[in-house]
Amino acid sequence: MAKLTIKDVARHAGVQPSTVSRAINNHPDINADTKARILQSIRDLGYIPDRAAKNFRTRKMRSISLLLPMTGSDFYNRLINSIDETLEDYDYDAGIFPLLSERRLSRYQDPSALPYHTDGLVFASLNPSHLYESLFTIQGLPAVVLDIITPDFDNVTVNNELGGHLAGKHLQERPAQTFVINVEERFHTPFASGVFAERLKGFRAAQQEAGLDFPDSQVFTSEFTLDSARDAARKVLDLREGNINVFTTCDFFAYGLLEEVKLAGLTLGEEVRVVGFDDEKQAQSLGLTTLRQPVEEMGRMVTRLLMDRIQDPELPIRSVQFKPELQVRRTT
Amino acid sequence: MAKLTIKDVARHAGVQPSTVSRAINNHPDINADTKARILQSIRDLGYIPDRAAKNFRTRKMRSISLLLPMTGSDFYNRLINSIDETLEDYDYDAGIFPLLSERRLSRYQDPSALPYHTDGLVFASLNPSHLYESLFTIQGLPAVVLDIITPDFDNVTVNNELGGHLAGKHLQERPAQTFVINVEERFHTPFASGVFAERLKGFRAAQQEAGLDFPDSQVFTSEFTLDSARDAARKVLDLREGNINVFTTCDFFAYGLLEEVKLAGLTLGEEVRVVGFDDEKQAQSLGLTTLRQPVEEMGRMVTRLLMDRIQDPELPIRSVQFKPELQVRRTT
DNA sequence: CTGAAAGCGCTAACAC
DNA sequence: GTGTTAGCGCTTTCAG
């Protein structure tokens, strides 16, 4: 059986191809009966429109690409779901491109790579200006950046500095020896979004405003493995002289700390107070005080900005910032 | 500036469009000098081939879709990297489609959805026959299934039953009260790959062969959260009368168990012996005895089978099975 | 409201 | 080794 085309449908329904096209695409100028007859023919024959032909002809892919450093975290899962949901209103699909390996990174330097075969791009926690050897790669494709403020693209962020500040103020309610567990940020890599540095900056500012000393020696760093988080936690606990306050710049690091606190037989919320950042699903069940980012709203906003820009590329650049909210739970 | 086409390049290089096409596509019938001149023109002008037009014309997308239940686990990350790497030999790209939400699941019932706008499909831990209301959705698109043996598609599996058997035999070396922590498999869902049931089956067989009693009451179930894994672990430890052996049908469940064992002050490898399954990255640092799946080889094989089938859809269905290998570490 | 016809950018016969 | 030409399947003017 040869491939069914719009011509076959037209013949079957006794109309011209252009009329079939109008029926498929919900064009207003079509008689309801004709339309019904055509749709019936389509069902009878089992016709499926050729997406490649349509994309080619209309110069629209009806899809966008989401580029992100990794997948599987609570944050990115929620983000993906929110973007998906919003795209449904536009009848668009999303392709997901986690930059898992060096290979992908270099392969995606090529303007004809898969991710750019699309109507627009979302960069999550990724700075296009650092990601690409040349922005020529993305050929002026509409793009929105999440997590990073940039003058070149629409962007959506959460006020991380404010979040760090809120964490600082909250922990100050119970004065104690104070520590931070932060990610070790390697700058000048595509993955240096700067969000963690901002959180720390806000926290530092809060300490300073309160006239509290906060030396670098009380900041420890961790990688994104539970082992590493626990290492950092142990270093903190080793320096403990009495009650302590700890700000972890993401929830994940707090998980390691909570384990170590339990193991050391210390009381959470008393001897050790902890504030995380992100409000991941686990944070709730662990009773972790943390800063909530409105991920769903952010996903919606990112999608809207992108779809707006796809419609009108000449729009002025927009920058939207959300506020994090402190979720007080048992660890403080 | 209007969009540059192959015609503009042809004019600039003083040749015909077809010659430019030959230059771009490494056609053998072309003079080396002409080719060099054309490629120079392409660089001079900044021409980028129109992928949509090419796809349309050649009826090839030069990309495949990878459908999988989720992302972010060590297993799937390694799988993706291995597939990516193998695809490079074919100059193909991979799109990743984690079935994170119900919305995606229903959206992807539509044959014109994004994932099917591609030359072939890989189903990882997903059974197409259960996934779709009708296989009409994928329109006879070349497909390979990973993790599930099916008569309808090429498939690549690891012998999970053998793995369970090996785990059983290994634990029998030190006779003790024996438990299993398994996933709660909801059958008749798209996500019921059956791999865990097979692992348990092999384990059971090993017990039976050794004439050991192994009642259902010694099998506990867990979900894919650390909390749930720890719950299951506590149930096991509560029933402990002396030394115990535990088989967790995936490494993840073992992580929870290891935590609880430590908390209970028990000695791993002595009072509590544990065998996991998957050999995730963490298993190594935790010293977990486990069954290693050759993920990279599996990814390579899946890709090769798919590319073969894309080249020749009439190929007979092939089924390839790999053997898991026991990695003995400190927990036994 | 429907039909006729042109053409998107590219590739692949077939000439030469 | 290069040119000529037709056409992939669809949408979109423009007529009527």
Specify whether the CB–CB gap between A324 and A160 falls below 8 A. Answer: yes
What sign results for the dihedral spanned by CA atoms B217, B223, B224, B226? negative
Residue B32 in any domain: the answer is no
Q: How far is CA B245 from CA B233, B256, B289, in A?
A: 12, 15, 12
pLDDT, tens only, A269-282:
999 999 999 999 88
**B135 lies in the same domain as B183:** no
Return the residue in A96, A102, A262 with the most chain B beta carbons within 10 A, the one to mutate for interface testing. A96
**A166 lies in the same domain as A147:** no
**B101 lies in the same domain as B130:** yes
**B148 lies in the same domain as B247:** no
User: Of B294 and B285, which is predicted with more confidence?
Assistant: B294
State the CATH number of the domain containing residue A107.
3.40.50.2300
Nearest of B315, B311, B314 to residue B60 by alpha carbon = B311
Footprint of strand D on the protein (CB under 7 A): A 3, 5-7, 17-18, 20-22, 24-25, 49-50, 53-54, 56-58; B 14-19, 22, 28-31, 33-35, 56-57
Residue A191 in any domain: the answer is yes
Average pLDDT in chain A? 94
**A172 lies in the same domain as A309:** no
Coil, strand or helix at A58:
helix
Segments forming the whole domain that contains residue A174: 160-294
- pTM for this model (two decimals): 0.92
Q: What is the mean pLDDT of residues B298-309?
A: 98
Residue B328 in any domain: the answer is no
Number of domains in chain A: 2
Specify whether the CB–CB gap between B159 and B321 falls below 8 A. Answer: yes
CA atoms within 13 A of residue A131's CA, in its CB half-sphere: 26
Residue whose Cα is closest to the C1' of D3: B16
What is the H or E stretch that residue B184 is in? none
Specify whether the CB–CB gap between B13 and B41 falls below 8 A. Answer: yes
B81 → chain A, closest CA residue: A101
pLDDT, tens only, B3-61:
899 999 999 999 999 999 999 999 998 999 999 999 999 999 999 999 999 999 999 99
pLDDT band of B194, cuts 50, 70, 90? confident
pLDDT, tens only, B143-189:
999 999 999 999 999 999 999 999 999 999 999 999 999 998 764 46
**B96 lies in the same domain as B245:** no
pLDDT, tens only, B209-236:
999 999 999 999 998 888 899 999 999 9
**B196 lies in the same domain as B153:** no
Q: What is the mean pLDDT of residues A169-173?
A: 97
**A56 lies in the same domain as A67:** yes
pLDDT at residue B224, as a whole number: 84
**B136 lies in the same domain as B174:** no
Residue A239 in any domain: the answer is yes
pLDDT at residue A188, as a whole number: 47
**B203 lies in the same domain as B108:** no
A101 → chain B, closest CA residue: B81
Note whether A97 contacts B100, CB cutoff 8 Å: no
pLDDT, tens only, A79-101:
999 999 999 999 999 999 999 99
Q: What is the mean pLDDT of residues A224-237?
A: 92
Q: How far apart are CA B271 and CA B245, in angstroms?
A: 8
Residue A37 in any domain: the answer is no
pLDDT at residue B233, as a whole number: 96
pLDDT, tens only, A123-158:
999 999 999 999 999 989 999 999 999 999 999 999
Nearest to B113 among A52, A93, A136 (CB): A93
Q: Which residues of chain A neighbour B68 with C-beta distances below 8 Å?
A: none
pLDDT at residue A191, as a whole number: 66
Q: Which residues of chain A neighbour B48 with C-beta distances below 8 Å?
A: 111-112, 139
Closest nucleotide relative to residue A28's CA, C1' based: C1
Residue B174 in any domain: the answer is yes
**A149 lies in the same domain as A88:** yes
pLDDT at residue A164, as a whole number: 98
Residue B195 in any domain: the answer is yes
Nearest to A81 among B84, B101, B285 (CB): B101
* pLDDT surpassing 90 at residue B97: yes
Q: How far is CA B119 from the centre of its chain?
A: 18
Share of chain A above pLDDT 90, in %: 89
* pLDDT surpassing 90 at residue B1: no
**B144 lies in the same domain as B283:** no
Separation of B11 CA and D5 C1' (Å): 18
Residue A329 in any domain: the answer is no
Average pLDDT in chain B? 94
